[in-house]
Structure 1
């Protein structure tokens, strides 16, 4: 029987490149280790922050296998790897799921195709995800992120229908819709279908609504603070948890305002001593030296200081 990934907090890891836009394996390994030491439950390789659509099949497999080997070689065999396998055809998505298993992932996260959004009726969306789940050698999860799927926002009826499939075991809701999240958590136990908030600014609110945790971009910068928030919730310390959630919510907003993926890489490079903010076009790199001129950057600096005090 297929089972969901364990509850907790996951990071959709950014992927580091060198100046020639080739994989910077040393920086990738450094990032993976810092995240693991920060206590993450798992790493999402090739989520939207991992520039999945910019990679060849061989690069995608390499990034997964490098992440798994780095974790295993350093005593983090319990850290879960979820692989993003979204593609624009059912055929390619199936192939990426097979590749993900071969490279060491235990679960896959599948975006809905978006090249032909008007063709993606509820019936077609459901058929796509079911066919992928039928073919995938490891459990699949539904990735709902309207921003990167031409505005397609899967509703709770569609996701509930998909949740009945024996090999579809969860969802990442980057839409930020807590009502949708709670409709799903109240219908399916997280041991059978795990619902994860897809953003830091809905982390605690999702937990209060029954979520299994979060898979959120800000964890790239602040893994320990996310772990602290999760711990406070588990201990029932809701007052302190809400204070920390408020701070992290501002941090989540700040990451989007310092340049998104390129901004996250620039912040990591400046504060943690590895990697460079190279991205693959058409994304735009963020120059490290220009961070201080961004009014949102100080919010992240303050949170990094809090992170490093832990």
Structure 2
């Protein structure tokens, strides 16, 4: 299978949350800079700009390029030129998606990640899904009419009106010369296993979990790693799990204890990942980051709602809310110890 570009390297990627000022909802560039640098210092392989956690659909067209460019300049200026950038470039029309892909390259991204359009979900049969991704990703001239950089499929039924690409659809797209990977936020480990068994993540097509609660399971299934929201909170914990897995992989018989240690951390990460989703998704992640790491104020753009943690923090440990907060705190305690 001949590819025009390479998949992103395996590892830990984070769909970075974007900070806003509470009064104006303008981008809070200073807090965004602090977040990007904390993620880089935490050992991530790369950053996804304008993923769902980055509120891509709440940004203007021009803001989408600005956030990519700002992230690239911030990383380069701080000596993190090795940190890779993936840009979320999904839009509801093929035309705008193509424009966003071209602009992402100009702004400094190395790959694009594209959601399936969902405004007209009932009309998006398999034939139209395949046609859309093949058209937008096709390498041709002029480059403005297609993606000029390697292209990844983003499967997230929660934000695409329930459209869920199965492994047959993703596999059919994986044979395209410019489609090099996928982020599966459906959390379907069977789908991850099937795709990882079929394609080499190093050279052909990389399958990434889109949820931290199946991070280690994905690695053991031959997947490339994770692009997960919880990495915003605990990049060092994810890095630790990944390093333990790599040590185990070098000599499974000798390093079985490394895998056992990784599973202990994975158990806590899985609990925290679930807790954050129940606390409030994007707003919950932002509120936790603001409270625990001292930048941003948790503001999201409407129609999302900002999350207050006060009641949660005061909850009795025996309530479900108390258990959620404890799960988050357990992972943050490890994060701050590393």
TM-score, normalization by structure 2? 0.90
| Cα drift, residue 285 of structure 1 | 0.3
Corresponding residue to 1:21 among 25, 40, 56: 25
Distance 1:14 1:246 in 2: 24
Given that residues 9 and 214 in structure 1 are in contact (C-alpha distance below 8 angstroms), is that contact kept between their aligned partners in structure 2?
yes
What is the rounded CA distance, in whole Å, between the counterparts of 2:293 and 2:126 in structure 1?
44
Cα deviations by residue, 1:215-261 (Å, 9 ceiling, x for unpaired): 00000000000000001111112111111111100010111121111
Deviation string 1:114-140 (CA, Å, 9 cap, x unpaired) is 011111111100000001101101011
Report what 2:157 is aligned to: 146
Q: Where in structure 2 are the equivalents of 1:71-220 lying within 5 Å?
A: 71-134=75-138, 135-190=146-201, 191-220=203-232
Instruction: Note if 1:304 corresponds to 2:304.
Output: no
Q: Counterpart in 1 of 2:274?
A: 253
Alignment of structure 1 residues 258-269 onto 2, 5 Å: 258-269=279-290
**Structure 1 stretches (4+) deviating beyond 3 angstroms?**
288-291
Moved more, 183-192 or 167-176: 183-192
- The residue number in structure 1 matching 2:317 is none
RMSD of aligned C-alpha atoms? Answer: 0.9
How far apart, in 1, do the equivalents of 2:297 and 2:113 lie?
27
SS at match of 1:87: coil
Tell me how far apart the structure 2 counterparts of residues 305 and 43 of structure 1 sit (CA, whole Å). 23
Q: Secondary structure at the match of 1:186?
A: helix
Q: Equivalent of 1:230, from 237, 242, 261?
A: 242
State the distance in 1 between where 2:284 and 2:182 align.
Answer: 26
Deviations 1:2-33 (A, max 9, x none): 00111001000100000210000000000000
TM-superposed deviation, 1:51: 0.4
- Looking at structure 2, the residues matched to 179 and 291 of structure 1 have their Cα atoms a distance apart, in angstroms, of 34
CA–CA separation in structure 2 for the residues paired with 1:276 and 1:62: 21
The CA deviation string for residues 164-198 of structure 1, in whole angstroms up to 9 with x for no partner, is 11100000001111111111111111121000011
Moved more, 86-95 or 286-295: 286-295
Unpaired runs of at least 5, structure 1 = none
Q: Residue deviations 1:199-228, cap 9 Å, x none?
A: 001101111110000000000000000000
Contact 1:7 1:212 in 2 (8 A): yes
Greater Rg by CA: 2
